[in-house]
Amino acid sequence: MKITEYTISKKTVAYFLILLIIGGGIWSFQKLGKLEFPTFTIKTALVSTAYTGASAEEVEQEVTDRLEIAIQEMSQVKEIRSLSKTGLSIIYVDIKNKYDSSDIPQIWDELRRKISDAQLYLPNGAGPSVVNDDFGDEYGVFFALTGEGYTYEELKDTADFLKRELLLVEGVASVELWGNQQQVVELELSRARMAELGVSIGSVLDTLNKQNQVSDAGRVEVGNADIRIIPTGIFPSIESLGDLLVKSDDAGNLVFLKDVVTIRSGYQDPSDWLLRFNGQPAIGLGVSTVDGGNVVHMGEAVRQRIQELMTNIPIGMQLETIAYPIFSA
């Protein structure tokens, strides 16, 4: 009996099969991963290495060439492209097309091991090298943490707390922070005071370089105990930095650092990243879903967890939504 004859004679069975197929299709559609932009595998990694103060030629010979030799030992590599400029080496590593997305994580792990081993052959002052392989990551959800009157350090502490909690949510692959500012200590030298007290810039730099160095100061035996001596040199506050003694002349006379410099805390200027939301300084939290995951379900789980965590956020801080594609899903 042909299929057409059977379906005509057995209409009830045919209708049941049609409904079963439609129901299965609807169920499968609900389980499909959904993203605003389709995911795709990028088979390129970027290896960047800083070599402050070196010329482009020195970077090429002492950093780029040595890293390329290590990378060439990998059989999966299709092509290596590099750029050497003053103080920075950038290497692009392309993987052969025959490797699919399931092979890429292991390949990048091997690349990191090769780069890590090659650090031993880099000159002093170069590195550490950084391998970036997450170009294809898409943030299904993006928040901005703001707080009028709060410092970047306070915002960063809260953002770190939220990151740790959101990483535990089902379907979340990673949480990245954006817009955090690097805190620095600024020293403004007074040339007039330095000339008056006989302090040179070299003396100031030498004093600062010797401070906070980690070194082995030895051990002391007390009875049967072996006590390690740990010189910390840690400053309890920025103001205490001014109590450092600086050599002022060949006779060995000393002056306080605060007598020749103005010390204040601040942020790196210009900053590498800067994020603002409605004119207020902010720190961004980008949440990406696991490979093949459903960003709709992940987004709902993240939103529920955020609502639970809001009671732990300091008063005055707000978590604003920048991107939330599930609203249009």
Write down the pLDDT at residue 215. 62
Q: Which burial class, exposed, middle or buried, applies to 172 when counting CB atoms under 10 A from its CB (0-12, 13-18, 19+)?
A: buried
Over residues 7-18, mean pLDDT: 76
When pLDDT is cut at 50, 70 and 90, the band that residue 231 belongs to is low
Long-range own/partner contacts, residues 172-175 (CB < 8 A, 24 or more apart): 172/287, 172/288, 172/289, 172/290, 172/298, 172/301, 172/302, 173/137, 173/288, 173/289, 173/290, 173/291, 173/293, 174/134, 174/137, 174/287, 174/288, 175/285, 175/286, 175/287, 175/288
Question: Does the structure show a pLDDT above 80 at 107?
Answer: yes
Q: How far apart are CA 129 and CA 122, in angstroms?
A: 10
Q: Which domains does the chain have, with CATH numbers?
A: 44-132 (3.30.70.1430), 141-182+272-328 (3.30.70.1320), 184-267 (3.30.2090.10)
| Cis preceding linkage at 270, omega within 30 | yes
3-state secondary structure (DSSP) of residue 50: strand
Report the alpha-carbon distance of residue 72 to residue 291 in Å, rounded: 29
Q: How many residues does the chain have?
A: 329
Q: What is the DSSP code string of 150-178?
A: --HHHHHHHHHHHHHHHTTSTTEEEEEEE
For residues 137 and 168, give the distance between their C-alpha atoms in angstroms, rounded to a whole number.
Answer: 18
Secondary structure element (H or E) that encloses residue 186, with its range? strand 183-189
What does the pLDDT read at residue 92? Answer: 94
pLDDT over threshold 70, residue 290: yes
pLDDT at 83 over 80: yes
Pairing status of strand 88-95 against strand 77-85: antiparallel
Q: Give whichever of 22-26, 106-110, 182-186 has the largest mean pLDDT.
A: 106-110
Check residues 175 and 25 and name the one with the higher pLDDT: 175
pLDDT of residue 136: 59
**Per-residue pLDDT band at 329 (split at 50, 70, 90):** very low
Mean pLDDT of 168-172: 89
pLDDT category of residue 33 using cuts at 50, 70 and 90: low
What is the pLDDT at residue 79?
92
Classified as helix, coil or strand, 193 is helix
Instruction: Please provide the average confidence, as pLDDT, over all residues in the chain.
Output: 82
Name which of 123-132, 236-245, 273-282 the model is least confident about: 236-245
Confidence at 43, pLDDT banded by 50, 70, 90: confident
DSSP-assigned states of every residue in 201-244? HHHHHHHHHHTT------EEEETTEEEEP------SSTGGGGG-
- Both tokens assigned to 227: 């006590």
83-87, 119-123, 218-222, 303-307: range with lowest mean pLDDT? 218-222
Residue 7 has pLDDT above 90, yes or no: no
Mean of pLDDT values over 25-35: 67
Peptide bond into 105 cis (omega under 30): no
The highest-confidence range among 3-12, 155-164, 227-236, by mean pLDDT, is 155-164
